[in-house]
Structure 1
């Protein structure tokens, strides 16, 4: 598979997974959390499909497309663990989270996701959904939407 085809498959899976997850949380109160803003594509999609939810964003730096800059009050700039702890300490509860942190080294990315899993759990509403590009621990893994190849994206219930 070409890198272009692989990227298209990944982005399609991400979009379809986020749409599916949004449908799963319609009856669950709570905010949305985008972990890893990057250039802002996912954040932009989340604010389009979840117009009635507050969307928190965590990233080390703000370097997204100008049209995708989150409101200053909703952007938590810094390392993931302290920012997640800040959300938890302020009693913000998350119904839907998207995990997209990464260093680009698979072993390091998997270890970081496992390390952060308990802190992510501390902000999740019971029954909330997490869409993740990396395996997380301590959550109930879900099958997710039909059509997404196994392992392409991971889906969890808190």
Structure 2
């Protein structure tokens, strides 16, 4: 599969899963945490799907399109592992993490801290969505919607 086709599959899976979980997230109290603002596409999408919901976005540096930048109170720049750790206990309704690199060695390092951080940011019953698998005893994997191939993008509930 070409890298372009792989990217399109990942973006389609991300959109379909976020649309799927936003129905439940809309009924759950708590902010949304966006780990990896990037270009801001997902932030923009979540802002449309969850109007009025606080969305706190984290990234190493600002690279988002001007139309997709959170206000200063909800944008946290720096090493995500460190900056997001200061938000543990926020009781998020949703944590979305799209910080995989596609390099197995780099993603293996991220997976040493991302599952635990995601679980600690969520409220019980909250949802985590990630491009990387989040194996953690407090995160129960949920099936993706039918349009998303298994192991393309992941959904979890905090137990």
Could you tell me which residue of structure 2 aligns to residue 150 of structure 1?
Answer: 150
How many Å separate the matches in 1 of 2:54 and 2:62? 18
Alignment of 1:1-158 (within 5 A): 1-88=1-88, 91-138=89-136, 139-158=139-158
| Cα distance change of structure 1 residues 67 and 38 upon mapping to structure 2, 3 Å threshold | same
SS in 2 for 1:122: helix
How many Å separate the matches in 2 of 1:136 and 1:5? 24
RMSD of aligned Cα (Å): 1.5
SS in 1 for 2:6: helix
How many Å separate the matches in 2 of 1:110 and 1:144? 23
| Cα distance change of structure 1 residues 83 and 43 upon mapping to structure 2, 3 Å threshold | same
Q: TM-score, normalised by structure 1?
A: 0.91
Mark the runs of 5 or more structure 1 residues left unpaired by the alignment: none
Q: TM-score, normalised by structure 2?
A: 0.91
Is 2:32–2:92's contact at 8 Å kept on the other side of the alignment?
A: yes
Moved more, 101-110 or 64-73: 101-110
Is 2:31–2:56's contact at 8 Å kept on the other side of the alignment?
A: yes
How many Å separate the matches in 1 of 2:111 and 2:122? 15
Instruction: Give the number of aligned pairs.
Output: 156
